[in-house]
Structure 1
Amino acid sequence: MTGSGSNTLLPRRKRRRKSNWRGPLYIAPAMALVIVFFVMPVLFTGWMSLHNWPLMGAARWIGFNNYFRMFNDSRFMTALNFTACYTVIVTVAIFAVAFPLAIFVEKERQFVSAYRTIIFLPVVVGLATASLLWVWLANVDSGFIGPALKALGLVEKSPNLLATFDTAFLTIVVMVVWKIAGFTMIILLTGLQAIPSELTEAARIDGAGRWQRFRHLTLPLMRKTIALALIVSVTGSILAFDQFYIMTSGGPQNKMISVVYYIFNQSFVSFNLGYGAALSIALLSILVAISIVQLWLLRVGEERP
């Protein structure tokens, strides 16, 4: 009996060993892509940041001088402050538009599929293409926005929306919200649809109003969904480049230079590749820190088992 029992255990152990190897084999291609296209470039960028790395000529080791330099770089600090303000304004604006849209298209009604498609359509347009489109729309001569404002009686003559900081910044914010709100809406829509209808109906029967149901039921149950949408929105805003480069070229008066735009200028205009690499590592660290803080804040108050 003992011999036969041990013989039956051997095939089971072999099957377990085979199954233990299947998982790593399945994820090996994805891990290879991550290592080649993310880990290795980050490591190489970190190595570059420790050098005076010109476009032509040999690199020279300077240690952490590039990192010390950024703290005394007033233009970098200005770009960092501008990016932070832009991120806050755009993120709030996107959620202010996307959340009501998600609630609107969540309920089954006539033409709801068409509404979802129309709202999501700008997402499939590339950001560079959208920026070029809005440059044309904002053009003082051939654009559509200026004549529309004039026809509505809001202005006396068609304004050049990209000529001053306030109007250019507002135009870019509106363009980004138009471009991104549909994607954020889809993320929030999945969270809304995951809430059991029984809970909402029970709260309604108990006398809870719409605002009470939204505040005490919908928002707590959507913490993870909101965290995902918030991280995506904040990360995309901090990494903003195309809209500033295409629509304003950093102007007017170089007041709309984001962090990524400044890194681009240092790396590929001034050819300070080592300093640009240091700025990139610093920006990556900021993104990781912000994502960790966001996840922690959104978990505060969450019931734990």
Structure 2
Amino acid sequence: MTTLARPFPPRSSRAARRRALAGALFVAPCVLFVAVFFLTPLVMTAWMSLNSWPLLGAHHFIGLGNYRELMADRAFWSALGFTFKYALLVTPLIFLVAFGLALIVQRPVRGVGLLRTAYFLPVVVGLGSASVLWVWMLNGQVGVFNAVAQALHFTQDPIPYLDSARNAMITALALIVWKTAGLSMLLLLIGLQAIPADYYEAATIDGASSWQRLIRITLPLMRRTFALALVLSVTGSLLAFDQFYILSHGGPQGSTVTAVYWIFNTSFGSFRLGYGAALSLVLLVILVLVSVAQLYFLRDDTEV
């Protein structure tokens, strides 16, 4: 009795399975990393938010009690309002400075590589280290800012850079623009270099001015780059903590307390980890909604 031999699968099918397996193996470390260091902590934080969880001692389940308390927490909503105000101020400043720098370093002139490096160097400095550096530079006795201002006869007395909410905000804005504009510059520079030169040449032949080329060609074709840079900038601004914690310690009189700063104080100052977890999840939801809204409004017209 003869049996029919089972046909071998087509070579193309086996090759496709091998490519799929190879792709899965390459992706597996990233998936594992996200699962261990993001999804697992996220689930644990969600569980903690449903409990009264002191730093020391036993915890007990309270359901949505933390979220009900959160709705009436004026201090948190005040800190969140200050955070949005800070984000609305710092984001346009970063974009204006970064886009101007990108236009400068895009030109193929001698020494442009040195300029790109110089503008990007503050990015490699940690935000905490940069904040400490600025604290010393702002010092009224040994700070370089006051020394230069007095040497140029702009002022005779040391300038109190952090004595008021307004001055503390301006100082934090200057620090963050100096620290992060280089990264946005690099992203925008990549977007500028991706635009074909033929578009500019054709527009020049048609008599378009530099301003018209910027408005009609550069800005529309950089919409996706703007979306990426904007999401990174706004997300970083809404998570602001280091600069206000180190520069002004949330002062004067709590006027520069951000949302993350309040979560930190609640969790490790008042030792209420469960309530801090609830605050963190609310902030996460706000970040996701803001990012989705940005990507939606900055999508290409060709995208569905």
Which runs of 5 or more structure 1 residues have no equivalent in the other structure? Answer: none
Do structure 1's residue 70 and structure 2's residue 70 form an aligned pair?
A: yes
Superposed, 1:183-202 pairs within 5 Å as 183-202=183-202
Deviates more, 1:208-217 or 1:188-197: 208-217
| Cα distance in 2 for residues equivalent to 1:138 and 1:73 | 34
| Cα distance in 2 for residues equivalent to 1:304 and 1:18 | 32
| Residue identity (%) | 48
SS at match of 2:298: helix
- Counterpart for residue 217 of structure 2: 217
| Cα distance in 2 for residues equivalent to 1:136 and 1:16 | 60
Equivalent residue letter for 1:163: D
- Counterpart for residue 33 of structure 2: 33
Conservation of the 8 A alpha-carbon contact between 1:79 and 1:258: yes
| Cα distance in 2 for residues equivalent to 1:19 and 1:164 | 61
Task: After TM superposition, give the deviation of residue 20 of structure 1 in Å.
Answer: 2.8
Which runs of 5 or more structure 2 residues have no equivalent in the other structure? Answer: none
Conservation of the 8 A alpha-carbon contact between 2:168 and 2:256: no
Conservation of the 8 A alpha-carbon contact between 1:50 and 1:65: yes
- Counterpart for residue 243 of structure 1: 243
Deviates more, 1:57-66 or 1:231-240: 57-66
Deviations 1:211-245 (A, max 9, x none): 11111110110011000100110011111111111
- Counterpart for residue 134 of structure 1: 134
| Cα distance in 2 for residues equivalent to 1:246 and 1:275 | 24
Deviations 1:147-195 (A, max 9, x none): 2223334333111212222222111110110010011100000000000
Conservation of the 8 A alpha-carbon contact between 2:140 and 2:159: yes
Deviates more, 1:166-175 or 1:176-185: 166-175
Deviations 1:56-100 (A, max 9, x none): 121111111111211211110110010001011111110110001
- Counterpart for residue 267 of structure 1: 267
- Counterpart for residue 181 of structure 2: 181
Structure 1 residues 14, 194: closer, same or farther in 2, change over 3 A?
Answer: closer
SS at match of 2:38: helix
SS at match of 1:299: coil
| Cα distance in 1 for residues equivalent to 2:13 and 2:59 | 55
Deviations 1:25-47 (A, max 9, x none): 22111100100000000010001
| Cα distance in 2 for residues equivalent to 1:15 and 1:136 | 62
| Cα distance in 1 for residues equivalent to 2:15 and 2:211 | 55
Structure 1 residues 296, 304: closer, same or farther in 2, change over 3 A?
Answer: closer
SS at match of 2:105: helix
| Cα distance in 2 for residues equivalent to 1:244 and 1:289 | 25
RMSD: 1.7
SS at match of 2:274: helix
| Cα distance in 2 for residues equivalent to 1:98 and 1:13 | 49
| Cα distance in 1 for residues equivalent to 2:47 and 2:77 | 23
Deviates more, 1:98-107 or 1:206-215: 206-215
Conservation of the 8 A alpha-carbon contact between 1:146 and 1:160: no
- Counterpart for residue 161 of structure 1: 161
> Under a length normalisation based on structure 2, what TM-score does the superposition of the two structures give?
0.95
Superposed, 1:45-194 pairs within 5 Å as 45-194=45-194
| Cα distance in 2 for residues equivalent to 1:142 and 1:271 | 37
| Cα distance in 2 for residues equivalent to 1:263 and 1:9 | 58
Task: After TM superposition, give the deviation of residue 8 of structure 1 in Å.
Answer: 5.7
Equivalent residue letter for 1:46: A
- Counterpart for residue 293 of structure 1: 293
SS at match of 1:134: helix
SS at match of 2:158: coil
Equivalent residue letter for 2:237: S
Equivalent residue letter for 1:73: D
Equivalent residue letter for 1:242: D
